[in-house]
Structures are given as C-alpha cells and as structure tokens.
Structure 1
Amino acid sequence: MSLIRLPIRLTKYRKKHLMSVIFLTCLFTTLILTIHIPIPGFVMNIYYWIKPDKSVFCHYIRTKEEDNLPDISAAVPKEGQSIFFHETSCNSLINGKITIKARQACAVESAALMNPHHEVYLLYASPGKFLFQNTESDRFLKELLKYPNVNILHLDLEKYFKDSPVENLYAEGIIRQSRFAQSHTSDVLRFLTLWKYGGIYLDLDVIVTKPLEGLGTDFSGIESNTSVAAGILSFNYTGIGHEYATDCLEDLKYNFKGSDWGWNGPGTVTRLLKRLCNVNKVPEMRNRTCKGFKIYPPSEFYSIPWWNWKWFFDPLQMDAINHATANSHIIHVWNKFSTTVKIPINSLGVPYLEFAKKYCPSIIKQCDQYF
C-alpha cells in the first residue's frame, strides 16, 4: 500500500513546490517593480534571468555582421534633418528576425509621411536581420521600406557608446542592471544620438500629425506641472544645441538612477531647462525660449495628459480629443499604460485608430485583427 501511495505523495509535493516557486516569482517581480529604492545588481540579474523579455541581454551579444541589419556607423544622417526612433527590446533576437509592432510602425510611417524632406531612422539595438515570411510584422516592415526617407538600421551599442561621455553606463553594465533596463537604455540613447548627429528624437508611441520642420532646432515640450517630457526632443548638431546635449550626457554619466523610471529621460531634460531658465517650477518655463532652447506648452505634444490616456480608446472622447489636438504636432498615447489595450481593426470612432487611419494608412491596411 505504501508503494502505491508514494507516487501520489511525490506528485502532491511537486505541485506544492511548483506553486511555492510561482508565488515567490510573482512576489519577487512585484517587489522589483514597485519598491523605489536602489536594488543590488545581482538581484536585477536574477530578475532578468526570470524575465528575459524585459532585459537588454541582447545588447551585449556579439553576432556576425551578416546576421544583422547594416549598422548606423556606415550611414551619414542629414545634419539637422533627421528624425530618430530607438527600438531597445530584445524581441528581434528572441523572434529570430527583425520584428515590429503595429503601433511602433504607425509612429514611423507618420513621421515619414508628414516629413518627406527629413531622413527617418528606426534603430534596433537588438541583433537581427530581415526574414520576410509574410507575417503581419513582415508586412509592416515592407510598407515602411517603401518610403524613400525611411532607414532601418542596427546599433552596435559597444561601438556607439565608446568614446562618448556615457561610455561607462554601457561598459560597466550600469544600464543593464537598471530596474527599467529597456526604457532607460532608450532614455540614454536619445541624448547620445542627438549628441552625435543632431535632429529630432521621437518615442515609438506617437503619431505625427503635422510637419516638424517649423519647430526649431532646439526644443522640447512640457508634459505636466512637474515635468518637461522627452517623448519628442531636438538638439542642433552644432553650437548651443550640441552643448546642451553634452550637458545632458554629463548629467547621466554622474547621476544615472536605475531605480527611478522617469529620472533619466524627462528628469534629465527637466533639470537642464530649470538651469537654463533659472526657475524651480516647470510652469514658469511654459512657452519660453531660454538661452536658445524652446519649451513648448503641453498642447503641442502632450495635449492629452497621461492620466487621461484611456481617452484615446474611447469613442465618446473623439470630439474632445479633436479639439485638444487641433494645434498639436504629435499625439502621444502613453504606451506605458496603454500597450495591452487592443483595438479591433474594424472598430468605429476609436480616436487612436481614427488618427492611425489618417496618418499611417499603409500600416493600418496590413493589420490582421487588431491595432
């Protein structure tokens, strides 16, 4: 009898052990994402081992040149006439080829469509190359490549960071052990890219609704009463613009915080502009130009604040959004909150989808079921 019961007891023990592991993993993940204190690097290494899709492990993998997209080091971006996007996830390496999501592709198409005289660069930090197999993502990439001003390239981060003011953040694994590794890599890269080439940086959760060329060469926009955002950011490739980009990189070199989601992106540009404008409060710099740097009001880029992000998915808010964004150059949909909300492609009157149909029509036509 005991021999019969033994496998049953072992099975019960394994189930109990498995449930304990799942519970501890969930608890560990929750603590990592909610406790706003510095966390030891070895702890973050364990977390990213459990959640590789959240990590930047692929940024440190050396691959053959033929297994990657062409590197940006071989390109010559137009000085002051380039728009840059950064894709910092490891999805392409995990998927075995370059991939893109519908909303990311929409951001890139809208920038290319509305700014035909600008070169648009979509830069992948993950290794990978095109492998067209007629998936939805493949079709998105093909549509983007039809635009003569779209360039989809690779970033060799070891080369890209080398001999820059923030070389230490990559070489010493500081970003890799950040609690928000992908987001913080994007934060640093936007300042580094504009330091190298000048131009305009855009987040991948925007839709460009007007040409950007009339905005100036050095600018950003207020997001709220406490923050100047970095979802759109412009520095000139020379002169004071380059000096300000250098200031931002020096700030990051010495003050990078891996435990604070907003410190290294919006925090960096907010600290810069408080110094330039000699103010302590963000509203005091609204619509001002401080030492050559223009600070636009929320209506230009962030007319719908993050706490109202659900408006973009609510047909009842269509009129309100049209009114709020009438003078906006971009709409920002706050991917941090909205990324899991799917919009059926046959939906009617959903504001985000209606903007997409107008400003990224080629991408919308290639969506299977959802946007």
Structure 2
Amino acid sequence: MSPQKKFSVRSMLGPFRRMSKKSLTYRLISRMAKSPVLSTISLAAILFFIYADSLMSNLSIHNANIKTGEIFPSTQTQTTPVVEGEGQAATSLNSLPVAAATTIQERKIEEETENEDPLIPPFKASVDERMEWFRRKLPELEILKSNELSERFHGRVLELFNNKCSAQFFMVWLSTAQSFGPREFLAVDSLFSTTPDGCLLILSSSMDSPKGYRILKPLIDRGFNVLAVTPDLPFLVKNTPAEPWLDDLKSGNMDPGSIPLFNHLSDLIRLAVLYKYGGVYLDTDFIFLKDLSGLRNAIGAQSINQQTKKWTRLNGAVMIFDIHHPVLVEFLREYATTFNGNRWGHNGPYLVSRVLERIRENPEYNITVFPPKAFYPVDWIKIAKLFKKPETEADSKWADDTLADISNDSYVVHLWNKRSRELKIEEGSVMARMIAEHCNICENIYDP
C-alpha cells in the first residue's frame, strides 16, 4: 500500500479539534461584548472548557492497563513483589510503572530535565578533570545501580517472553524518550511487519515511562508484544567477565572517557542481555524486510575485501546468538579488559571484529558471518541517495533496480541514523517505497 493511502485519523481530528475550540471561543467572546451577564457566564464556560480538556488529556496518560489501555483511578497503584534471582516470579503487567500516576509538579520536573544527560562529560576536559566530574555525577547515575524499579527487570522480561514469542528481539535506548522519534518508531513498526508474533524488549529507563508508553501504544493496541523496561545493569553483568569492570567504574577510579558514557553502556548492555536471554539484538535505525527468527549465531560484515572476499570489518548493530553462547563470554571479557572510553567504536564494532579475528578459524564457536548485503546493503556514505525522489528516467530505473536488489538479498537495511537522521524521506524514493511495503501503522513516513 502506498504511503499516500495510509493516514492517521488522529492527525485528521487534531486540526479540527483545534479549529472547533477557536471557533467556540470566538463566538463566546463576540457575545460577551454585547452582554455583561453573558460575559461573566461565558468567561466561566471558557475556563471550564480549557480545564476539562487539559484534565482529560492528563487523565489518559496516568494509570492504564498496558494491555487494554483501561484507565485506573489516579490515586491507586498496584504492586506485585518479585522474588530475586534467575527463577524469580514474573510481575503482573498491570503493576508496571509505565502508567504510574504523576503529579503536575513531577511532570514539570520531568519535562525540564528531559534533555539533561549526566552521561555526557565536559568538553575537552583533562583526564583528572573528567574523573573528578564523574565522581560528582556518580550518585545521579541510576543506570549503574539496582533500584526498586530496575530490580523488577528480570520478572518483566520473563512475562514478556512468556507470550509464545516466535523470536526474542532486543533494542537499547539510553537517550531521552523525547528523542525516540518517527525513525525509531518505524524501525519497531517494520519489525512487527516481518515478525508479528515476535516479542521486542526495549531496554530503556526513559521509555519505561508514561511518555514512552504513549509512543508505543499504537503498536500495543494492535496486539504486538513490545515492552520498554528499565534495565538492571548489575544483574545483567553478574557472574560475567564484565562484573569487575562495572565495580571499578562505580568506584570512581576509572576514566569513563571523553565519549558520552551512554555509548559505552549501550555496547555493554547489548552483549549482556544476549548472554542472559539469547535472541536478536538490533540498533534502532533499521528497516526490517525479512523475518530474522530463522537465523542462529550470526553477525554481519560491514565490509569485505573484494579480492579475497573475506570480511574486513564486522558490526554489532545486528547480533543473533543463543543464550550463553561462548563467543558472548569472549565479547564481555574483551570489553572489560580492553575498555577505552576515548575511541569511538572501540568497545562496539571494533570489539566484535577483534574477537572474531582471533577465533575465526576455531570451529568450536560455530558462527555465521553474513556478507554486507544481508544487514548493511547500503554504505553510510551512499545512504542519502535512498531518501531522494527520482527526478529523471535514469533515476527511476536506478531506484527500481536498487529496491529489487535490496528486497531480494537483504534481511534488514541499516539507515545509519548519524548520517541520515536529518534527511527527509521524499515521496517516491527507495526509502519511502521500502517502508510502505514493510510497516503496519506507517505514520510519519515523511517526517525526519
């Protein structure tokens, strides 16, 4: 179905509602000028109208059943104790904090701090200055600790994956919920277009919130198994080679590096969650074209040597592994022993390349390395062309051929968001056509 044929009823009603409010207000004000009595009554009516509208908007995001959307009284909360450990009981979805009641003051604080990130170090700070800054920030870094919310992590994961999932998917989002935009939503949407019976866990404290719930609600309402959960990092690395590394970091005696810490923690979390549960990890800037659930113990090459056809660089943006796979232990050990917070990619794509280079001839690990076309069919340097509308007959032929090649040979397409985030998806482009064929809701296709 073409993107023109799919539209949001909500997007059509929004302008109408705004127009209706303005029209009503105008008529009331006009009458107020003619009658002092009507003026008083009308003013009260306007204030009530505005207050009631705001009240209903706020009510809709407070206490809700995550499955049905049923609104609960804002003064009630439900909690279910969780037994600690690998065998802990699953928590009821009704007790999850995604729809917890918030006061006006709490919401104001949440909005004011939405863009504050304690994981970003001072610009051009020396090592000593950076470590001093990090020690001051440590009490704020909830992600490094277990707390009342994160300790429910394991139980909530078990409940999600107990929904007869055809595959277990993971994404990590350590940025704000506000920055989880149309592109990220399209990635999640397209996942369920190829694997509607799959289960997606988004490890994110910001998305594990009323705001995050509102973002994911269109998919939840359609019955898809997607859940954002605050990760418990100490639990994830417990009894792995990365546990001592986390202890050292929390001691304040390790240089976190000049690169924002959330980049490094994202690299660690993806390895740890795959080790603990097994499944498919993906970054949030992919479009899904085929079902990945049939793949096992696989990773993709980003580049190959054209003469030897051997890979030259791997990328951990897609990783598919069985639970407790031995190569994941090697990844976690490499992370802990060679951590460098000052080199981009050192703890991510370069890490998986280093480890697999050492063990590439060892049959014990039994890993499949897919060629670039499988997960990275378009290089980041050339990705912008997929967003452009064909202007000539030659452009149209290129778009048709490119779309056919990608559709035949690729499981997913990496959008390289750092390169393409600000690009608009132009109508008729390869990207627009690809998304229109692999989405359920298909809203905001043309938004950046």
User: TM-score under structure 2 normalisation?
Assistant: 0.59
- Among candidates 268, 276, 293, match of residue 359 of structure 2: 276
1:176-255 equivalence runs, <5 A: 176-177=256-257, 179-215=259-295, 217-225=296-304, 226-238=312-324, 242-255=325-338
Q: Report the alpha carbon displacement of residue 170 of structure 1 after superposing the two structures with TM.
A: 3.2
2:429 corresponds in structure 1 to 350
Q: Report the alpha carbon displacement of residue 125 of structure 1 after superposing the two structures with TM.
A: 4.0
Q: What is the root-mean-square deviation of aligned Cα atoms in Å? A: 3.4
Q: Report the alpha carbon displacement of residue 61 of structure 1 after superposing the two structures with TM.
A: 7.5
2:74 corresponds in structure 1 to none
Structure 1, unaligned stretches of length 5 or more?
Answer: 1-27, 33-38, 132-136, 280-288
* Pair 1:60–1:274, CA change in 2 (3 A): closer
* Pair 1:119–1:164, CA change in 2 (3 A): same
1:109 corresponds to 2:189:
yes
| Distance in 2 between residues matched to 1:41 and 1:358, nearest whole Å | 52
Q: Report the alpha carbon displacement of residue 311 of structure 1 after superposing the two structures with TM.
A: 1.9
| Distance in 2 between residues matched to 1:209 and 1:329, nearest whole Å | 5
- Provide, for residues 256-310 of structure 1, a one-character-per-residue CA deviation record: whole Å limited to 9, x for no partner: 111111111111221222122249xxxxxxxxx8841000001111110112121
2:374 corresponds in structure 1 to 300
| Distance in 1 between residues matched to 2:294 and 2:378, nearest whole Å | 22
1:59 corresponds in structure 2 to 143
1:43 corresponds to 2:127:
no
Is the CA contact 1:80–1:197 (under 8 Å) kept in the aligned structure 2?
no
| Distance in 2 between residues matched to 1:352 and 1:41, nearest whole Å | 46
1:36 corresponds in structure 2 to none
Q: Give the share of equivalent positions with the same residue, in percent.
A: 25
- Among candidates 419, 423, 427, match of residue 341 of structure 1: 423
- Provide, for residues 130-173 of structure 1, a one-character-per-residue CA deviation record: whole Å limited to 9, x for no partner: 14xxxxx7653111223332222221324333443212443333
The AA in structure 1 aligned to 2:352 is: V
The AA in structure 2 aligned to 1:301 is: F
| Distance in 2 between residues matched to 1:104 and 1:175, nearest whole Å | 31
Q: Report the alpha carbon displacement of residue 175 of structure 1 after superposing the two structures with TM.
A: 8.4
* Pair 1:369–1:349, CA change in 2 (3 A): closer
1:27-106 equivalence runs, <5 A: 29=123, 40=127, 42-43=129-130, 57=141, 59-60=143-144, 65=149, 71-76=153-158, 77=161, 81-89=167-175, 91-92=176-177, 100-106=180-186
User: TM-score under structure 1 normalisation?
Assistant: 0.70
| Distance in 2 between residues matched to 1:127 and 1:330, nearest whole Å | 24
Deviating more after overlay: 77-86 vs 181-190: 77-86
Is the CA contact 1:81–1:117 (under 8 Å) kept in the aligned structure 2?
yes
1:329 corresponds to 2:405:
no
Is the CA contact 1:114–1:209 (under 8 Å) kept in the aligned structure 2?
yes
Q: Which has the larger radius of gyration?
A: 2
Is the CA contact 2:299–2:318 (under 8 Å) kept in the aligned structure 1?
yes
1:370 corresponds to 2:444:
no
| Distance in 1 between residues matched to 2:132 and 2:412, nearest whole Å | 37
